Structure 1
Amino acid sequence: MKKLLSIIFIVLFNFVNAQEIPTTYTLEIDSKYQFRPYIDIEASSIKSQDKTGTCWSFSTSSFLESEIYRLTGKKIDISEMYSVRGTYERKAWNYVMRQGKAQFGEGGLGHDVINSLKTDGLVPESEFSGLIGNQTTHSHSQMVKEIQTILDAYIKNDIDSPYPNWKQTVDELLNENLGTEVNEFVFEGKVYTPKSFLEMTTINPNDYISITSFTHIPFYENFILNIPDNFSNGTYYNVPLDEFNSIAKQVLENGFSIEWDGDVSEKTFSPKYGIAVLPSNIENNTKSLTEIVPEMDVTQEFRQQEFENYNTGDDHLMHIIGIVTDQNGKLYYKIKNSWGTNSNRIGNDGYIYMSESYFKLKSISILIHKNALTQDLKQKLNL
């Protein structure tokens, strides 16, 4: 895309002083990539999900923070763990009702946070950090293991089980490990409940939809995507692959950000170098982390094949907050990760620049505000 358009979009969609944007920058000292900002959406700073599988809440909460800013101009740090706590309860109920024939664990998806808004409301980080006592980092593995032990004992109808009331016991465990439910709190001098706080942000959970691209479902239909973490049977709108990629760019150009779900298992997804690319020749995998190489032309058929053979799975969720271009003018999605910034394994200040090829093959879905779509597409999707 032309440099003149690049300058225009920076002015329109970047919420910081344009003079603060560098003209070019590189990822690592030994990297030959040179990136220029093209679109920047206002987003909160990088956080760390620590030793948890709660990327779904960190990414969607970051997405909602950008939405709150877009809608109200307020910068609010919302609680990731408030949604996590409620989702663990719903996931436990689902696991029990399906008699253990469902996934129970730390994973989830973007629509689980949206569902949490509908049932539990929203609270700021200052009211629910999910950290107890002197804790400074999150770790849920032991808690989740203990909850599943309780649920399995109930399902097996173990007469010797020390957990006669699984709901109460799970609630007590969540209180002990994450904190008690929030009923009322003061924020900026006003008293709120979680529901009234949500209303103050003007976020409407019904405005958010998930979009994907697969051939086993007719295009422009809404369906339940059968992936392991979709315990809540969230629905997705299905569109052709090229349109899927075009939608992502269009959403960002319209000043909206995106919550992304996809696969990060490729060797060419590198948090160290802050890059995610898809070389057409695997011999260039290592080289591609530090310099531009030819990339794969991803087709709808190959995408479907990689999904059906499990090479593309719902590994991780992140927040897309813009677009950058390399020195050849090629586009990359700028993605905010939730793995922190303070490790020698984390480069590029915790952000990932993802090529369109990688996005087209390795994306499971995107979560967006429906108003970011064109009227024509809304009609096709019956929105």
Structure 2
Amino acid sequence: MNKEINNQNLSKFKSDLQQTAQNEVLKNAVNNLGVKKVAQQFSDSHLDDTFSLELETGSVSNQKRSGRCWLFSTLTNLRTEFAKEYKVKDFELSQNYLSFYDRLEKANFFFKNVIETAHLPKTDRKVALVFQYANDDGGQWQYSANLVKKYGVVPSYVMPETYNSENTSEFSSVISTFLRKKGIELRSLIANKANDEEISNFIAENMSEVYRICVYAFGEPVQNFDLMIRDDDKKIIEEKNLTPKSFFEKYFDMNLDDYVSIMNTSQEGKEFNKTYTIETQGNIVGMTDEKFLNKPIERLKELAIKQMQAGETVWFGNDVGAQSLRKEGVLAGELFNYDAVFDIDTNMNKANRLDTREGEVSHAMVLTGVNIDNEKPTKWKVENSWGEKVGNKGYFVMDDKWFEEFVYEVVINKKYLTDEEIEQFNEEPIVLPGWDAMA
């Protein structure tokens, strides 16, 4: 039917509805209980919190009302390493410290994108995307790696969270509005044939303003600090006059350059064993761009297990809103059966979900355990960053079906890849547009 809905159509719809006796029962159930409650078919008998491989971790962090899951997950990996090495179980690094520099660097990256797209009309899709995401708190694994390499890290007590770091929408609105206005002015300068010095001065002047705005919102980052923490044996770890970079270099063994992003998508045009990057995306001018090696989902599982078997947690990107129970901390591939409720067919494969934006890479978390039965994973332990009031004190349980359907990326040390896979990763990446589903 490709015409307007008329009374004849409505009469037919109503007649069709009345043909099935249980429609009245289902209508009452859905009306009173809601779609998800009626559709839930999950039994948690196979998703208890016992795993054959489980890494020792501490209390979960809480990103509050912010989109910094990618940063929290990276710092979770780092603090887990620190806790293991120095016996400080619930040690936490400052997310706010890196959040400050992330927003500052993203402003500079925005100006770079404005310059590179200044020859295009404002109506161009790429230009629209650059201005749409002028400055927000979303990100990827490589964003956090870039930040740590450039700025180091500090303990949470050195630069604690502020209202704005935990509730980012107000700040994001102000800084984005400011940058959009300055972006339009920059495009006008370029259109009027401004020279390189004039453009450079314009950006420097406005970046100083961005710095001031960030200080108001997040506080000013420290240049030096004193380390003083008590380990689990009540012994004090103390060192004076550290810089954030010297602290990272001295107290953390993780070489962030050793880690690569392995993604999984079977979308048309995205071949396995090829590398990809996303145009206009990034957070620091002059640092490493995000790069993905596309592999079958079984390979992502194998690599994640290898890394955990070696005692190291795994950063992973996923679609946390799909087939999940937030309060209970359950991620199950067949948690809700909407088709049975409405007598419809909504089944789509992973590629089609991404193509239609039914699926998206919406969240990052950390794998901290897995249960293996007959050499196959059956369920996974997940450390989230939503605080201790969800799941089992913040930890989720994910069944293997959910991994297959809704996990899109794992970050893996290159030493677990084959020589062939390393060669594949080192190839020149295929550039995807900024609006790609994997962005």
The aligned residue for residue 145 of structure 2 is 114
SS in 2 for 1:98: helix
The alpha carbon displacement at 1:230 in A equals 5.6
More helix by share: 2
Q: Aligned AA for 1:273?
A: E
2:60–2:383 CA contact under 8 A, matched in 1: yes
Match of 2:54 in 1: 40
Alpha-carbon distance, 1:276 to partner = 0.6
Aligned length: 328
Match of 1:294 in 2: none
Are the equivalent residues in 1 in contact too, given 2:105–2:283 (CA < 8 A)?
no
Q: Secondary structure at the match of 1:305?
A: helix
For residue 31 of structure 1, report the CA deviation from its aligned partner.
5.0
- Counterpart of 2:385 in structure 1 is 338
For 1:207-226, list aligned pairs within 5 A.
207-215=258-266, 216-225=269-278
In the TM superposition, 1:1-383 aligns within 5 A as 31-33=44-46, 34-69=48-83, 76-99=91-114, 101-102=129-130, 103=133, 104-131=135-162, 138-157=166-185, 165-187=205-227, 188-200=238-250, 201-215=252-266, 216-225=269-278, 233-266=289-322, 268-279=323-334, 282=337, 302-324=349-371, 331-342=378-389, 346-373=390-417, 377-378=421-422, 381=425
Q: Is the 8 A contact 1:279 1:285 kept in 2?
A: no
Asked whether the 8 Å contact 1:107–1:229 carries over to 2, the reply is no
Please report the TM-score for the alignment, with normalisation by the length of structure 1. Answer: 0.76
Normalising by the residue count of structure 2, what TM-score does the alignment of the two structures yield? 0.67
- State percent identity of aligned pairs: 22
- Separation in structure 2 between the aligned mates of residue 280 and residue 186 of structure 1, nearest angstrom: 49
Cα distance in 1 for residues equivalent to 2:242 and 2:418: 36
Larger Rg: 2
Alpha-carbon RMSD across the aligned residues, in angstroms, is: 3.2
Pick closer, same or farther for the CA change 1:229–1:262 going to 2, 3 Å: farther
Deviations 1:84-133 (A, max 9, x none): 111111211222222364223121112211000121111111211132xx
Write the distance in 2 (CA, Å) between the matches of 1:166 and 1:136: 21
**Aligned residue number for residue 11 of structure 1:** none
Residues 96 and 165 in structure 2, CA contact (< 8 A), matched pair in contact too: no
SS at the partner of 1:36?
Answer: coil
